Chain A
Amino acid sequence: MPDPTNAADPDAGFAPTRDPDDVTVAPDGRPMDEQPRWRQDFAIDAPEANFVARRDFAKFLVLISGAFVAGQAWIAAKSLVRDRRPKPGRMRIASLAALPTGSATMFAYPGDHDPCLLIRMPDGKLLAYSQKCTHLSCAVIPEIDRGILRCPCHEGVFDLATGRNIAGPPPRPLPIIELEVTGDDIYAVGVKATTT
């Protein structure tokens, strides 16, 4: 049998070789006989301990990576559920006569817990948006004279004409409520959310 410690043996390369710096090393790098007594009694190989720390860190990173995939899968599942949900129906929300120009009123659409704003601009144009700020769902306040919708919680600002987020922390425009006017009645017929 070949001697694995014999460097002249051609098969010796498959045997574990001893690394010259593979020795017990204190954290400050000084030799063990210069270390305090307690460290000599409880010697720890600092590079080896660091290696274990890095290994655990890598395992933790891969665990986080798995959690992110689980989050993506959850969104995909919710997306499938949302696709199967019926579209919101047509609902009467106000009459034109009750809404003078330059004013706004509140309504709930499509559910009872979905507050929305119906705004009649000074030029008579009708606009409707979800009242929930896209940042943290605070109620936005229309400031028609300034042409904005303002969220007082974190000073988010949306453009009144388009619903776009123009200042502050909101990441998306306000969802637009699609309207239909029949005679004197104003109907909400759908919700359109966008990312830009």
Chain B
Amino acid sequence: MSKRTRRQLTRAQRLTVIYGVVCFVLVLVVLQLWLLTATVNAWLGDDDGVVWPALAASAGCLALNIGLLRSFLRR
């Protein structure tokens, strides 16, 4: 989205976009919670195979969340 378009959004439109961003961040956080519980369960069951992929996936979610937060704070 260009600066020109963004500045022409009304507050109601910006709010809609922001609600979408917050919902997406919330979904990613819930996904991370599920990943963490599944990883703990697997690790306690002596299954180390999922530990590193789960860490990478969770870190990817964090990176996405930070990117979304930055775009959110610019609005």
Provide the residues of chain B in CB contact with A57, threshold 8 Å.
22
Spot the interface stretch: A12-20, A105-113, A117-125, A144-152.
Answer: A12-20
Name the prevailing secondary structure of the A interface residues: helix
Contact A61 B29 (CB under 8 A): yes
* Residues of B within 8 A of A (CB-CB), count: 44
Contact of A65 among B28, B55, B73 (CB under 8 A): B28
Contact B58 A72 (CB under 8 A): yes
The B-contacting residues of A in range 3-21, CB under 8 angstroms, are 13-14, 16-17, 19-21
CA distance A175 to B38 in the complex (A): 18
Contact A171 B41 (CB under 8 A): yes
Q: Mark A27-67, 1 if CB is under 8 A from B, else 0.
A: 00000000000000000000100010011011101101110
CA distance A82 to B48 in the complex (A): 10
The B-contacting residues of A in range 59-113, CB under 8 angstroms, are 59, 61-62, 64-66, 68-69, 71-73, 75-76, 78-79, 82-83
Nearest A residue to B73 by beta-carbon distance? A55
Contact A62 B66 (CB under 8 A): yes
Q: Measured between C-beta atoms, what is the minimum distance from A106 to chain B in Å?
A: 22
A131 within 8 A of B: no
A-B contact count (CB 8 A): 111
- Report which residue of A47, A72, A79, A194 has the largest number of chain B beta carbons within 10 angstroms of its beta carbon: A72
Provide the residues of chain A in CB contact with B66, threshold 8 Å.
62
Nearest B residue to A22 by beta-carbon distance? B11
Contact B12 A21 (CB under 8 A): yes
Q: Measured between C-beta atoms, what is the minimum distance from B8 to chain A in Å?
A: 6
Provide the residues of chain B in CB contact with A72, threshold 8 Å.
35-36, 39, 51, 54-55, 58-59
Contact of B45 among A17, A62, A78, A193 (CB under 8 A): A193
Contact A47 B15 (CB under 8 A): yes
Other 5 A-B pairs with CB < 8 A, given A57-B22, A78-B43, A175-B46: A13-B4, A17-B8, A51-B18, A54-B22, A79-B48
Residues of A bordering B, CB below 8 Å? 13-14, 16-17, 19-22, 47, 51, 54-55, 57-59, 61-62, 64-66, 68-69, 71-73, 75-76, 78-79, 82-83, 134, 171-173, 175, 192-196
Q: Top 9 nearest A-B pairs by Cβ distance?
A: A195-B45, A193-B46, A68-B32, A72-B55, A65-B65, A72-B58, A79-B51, A69-B62, A62-B65
